[in-house]
Structure 1
Amino acid sequence: MAERDVREIGGAWANFQAHSFPEPAADLAPFVDHFWAVAWDLGDQPPYRQLIVPNPTVQLSFPNGAAEVHGVGRRSGYKVLAGKGRVFGVAFRPGCFRPLLGRSVSTITGRVVPAVELFPDVPVRAMADAVDEREQARIAEEFLRSACPPPDPTAEHVAGVVALVAAEPGITRVADLAQRLDTHVRSVQRLFAEYVGVGPKWVIRRYRLREVTDRMARSAAIDWAGLAAELGYADQAHLTRDFTAMVGESPTRYAARYPAP
């Protein structure tokens, strides 16, 4: 394994990049989960490989004079940060990009699509010229109001189902979720493929693994064997394997990214 970039460790990345989360307008709540913005200035430092951990959300991002739609990615990846730059992003509620896309969200899973292919009027220039993330948020809100169709009841239902998975650690299998919804496993699988872009098994696993990173962020001492059992894994080895496959690093290597308690 290559020598580790020390800027990954102990929160050192915060010395050259900043993250913020402007609050989207309330009328966009049927579609938008949150806005996010990141800015970096590496000065004379070499480029930095930013680890991107996947989530079950479609993203519209505006990186340095461009606009891209990111389908759900099943595995982690890296974004190379160099020099000085910024990105503003819109994270859509799970399931709620389907009405904007007009087809199955699985058709863009794992893909990055130029936003102009889906939205000819996407405000690329205005976002690039905006002075700060507050102005970018205002521009994004105006665009989304013009682009978003009427809310789709099925999309709202799917968003609620994903929220249930996120909130209920006891849901560890697709069969558990189907039982809670009083439906069949195959029906849940079809619904997720159409509206979320990935299957319910992936979504369940992602939210159970988020409990691991949440505990890391709290600098909590972790009983790995006990946590594995709590999250529905047969043993710690299975948890470690799943975490590494999803996040791209082992739990102990990833934990080193957080500041020491």
Structure 2
Amino acid sequence: MAETANPQAGTGGRGLREARGVVRPAEMARHIALDQRPPDPGLAAFVEHHWCVRWRVAEPYDAKVLSHPNVHLAFEPEGPFVYGVDRSVFVRRLNGAGHVLGVKFRPGAFRALLDGPVADLADRRIDAAAVFGPSVLAVNAAVQARTDLADMTADAESFLGPLLPAEPDPQAVRAAGLVARFTAEPSLVRVDDAADEAGLSVRGLQRLFAEYVGASPKWVLRRARLHEVAQRAAAGAGIDWPALAADLGYTDQSHLIRDFTGAVGESPARYSAAASPRG
């Protein structure tokens, strides 16, 4: 899911404010904190990072994230789950106190652990035992008994290491590189232009992303733009919306507003007012 740590854990709030895709990060940081840890070098070809969220809330709180094109393995109080790419807004209701350790796989990397395309996981949360077998349940229990992030990640990596191949699939590496390229250039908006940059036909690019990423190239391009709009909006007032729309390749400001409102459920201006650290 979400990445949450004890609200009293120093750097967690800053981590949430800097985390791209978190909806209303300043508000969330009042309830939740986030810690991240890089993977062991031996797993770095497959794992982007580990994240840990811890929370203690007096009333139920809905944490929301505009998800990235990544698959996650999450060790949760309710059990271990695999989360495919959520193409809408990911929402996790938090109650009481607890923590989750997540493993964020690189785009394309989770294909090595599946019998089918990563697109089969889109918009789904599945029992991790369906992918990893019942042994993952003992890992979940161990992680939930821990308090130190280093110990949690050691448990997860000791479990995952023997299951992953020695080297990533070259097509997975190619897919990850394309996702990074598309994400770094939110002004790249047309799938045919993206296919040209990739040296593929549009259909070939779509097949690659369905097999390895779990979301279409069009979705990845659109989500990169929405992340940029949300990050700018969360920074506060004074945004030149027409100029931002032009920078990101929208046809006009109305197009930007429709796209953002359809995904987040409120206009960029309203989101900016609510998400601002001053709000």
Matched with 1:50 is: 63
Task: Give the deviation of 1:149 after TM superposition.
Answer: 2.1
Separation in structure 1 between the aligned mates of residue 225 and residue 45 of structure 2, nearest angstrom: 25
Separation in structure 2 between the aligned mates of residue 181 and residue 221 of structure 1, nearest angstrom: 36
Is 1:134 the equivalent of 2:150?
yes
Mean Cα displacement is larger for which, 166-175 or 81-90? 166-175
Equivalent residue for 2:248, pick from 231, 249, 259 = 231
Task: Give the deviation of 1:98 after TM superposition.
Answer: 0.8
Is 1:195 the equivalent of 2:208?
no
Which letter maps to 1:110?
D
Number of equivalenced pairs:
252
Consecutive unaligned residues in structure 2, runs of 5 or more? 1-22
Which letter maps to 2:197?
R
Mean Cα displacement is larger for which, 245-254 or 22-31? 245-254
Change (3 A) 1:106 1:229: same
Matched with 2:49 is: 34
Change (3 A) 1:40 1:197: same
Does the residue aligned with 1:117 lie in a helix, a strand or coil? helix
Asked which structure has the greater RCO (Cα within 8 Å, sep 6+), the reply is: 1
Is 1:20 the equivalent of 2:15?
no
Separation in structure 2 between the aligned mates of residue 9 and residue 228 of structure 1, nearest angstrom: 21
Task: Give the deviation of 1:239 after TM superposition.
Answer: 1.0
Task: Give the deviation of 1:162 after TM superposition.
Answer: 0.5
Deviation per CA, 1:6-34, whole angstroms, max 9, x where unpaired?
Answer: xx978243233211112211221111111
The list of structure 1 runs, each at least 4 consecutive aligned residues, that deviate by more than 6 angstroms after superposition, is: none
Separation in structure 2 between the aligned mates of residue 140 and residue 157 of structure 1, nearest angstrom: 26
Which letter maps to 1:41?
R
Which letter maps to 1:130?
R
Consecutive unaligned residues in structure 1, runs of 5 or more? 1-7
1:170-209 maps to which residues of 2 (within 5 A)? 170-209=187-226
Deviation per CA, 1:210-238, whole angstroms, max 9, x where unpaired?
Answer: 11123234447321111111111111111
Equivalent residue for 1:74, pick from 83, 87, 96 = 87
Is 1:258 the equivalent of 2:276?
yes
TM-score by length of 1: 0.90
Matched with 1:164 is: 181
Is 1:111 the equivalent of 2:103?
no
Mean Cα displacement is larger for which, 60-69 or 248-257? 248-257
Matched with 1:247 is: 264
**CA contact 1:56–1:72 (8 Å) conserved in 2:** yes
Mean Cα displacement is larger for which, 110-119 or 167-176? 167-176
TM-score by length of 2: 0.84
Matched with 1:3 is: none
**CA contact 1:75–1:248 (8 Å) conserved in 2:** no
Separation in structure 2 between the aligned mates of residue 9 and residue 158 of structure 1, nearest angstrom: 30
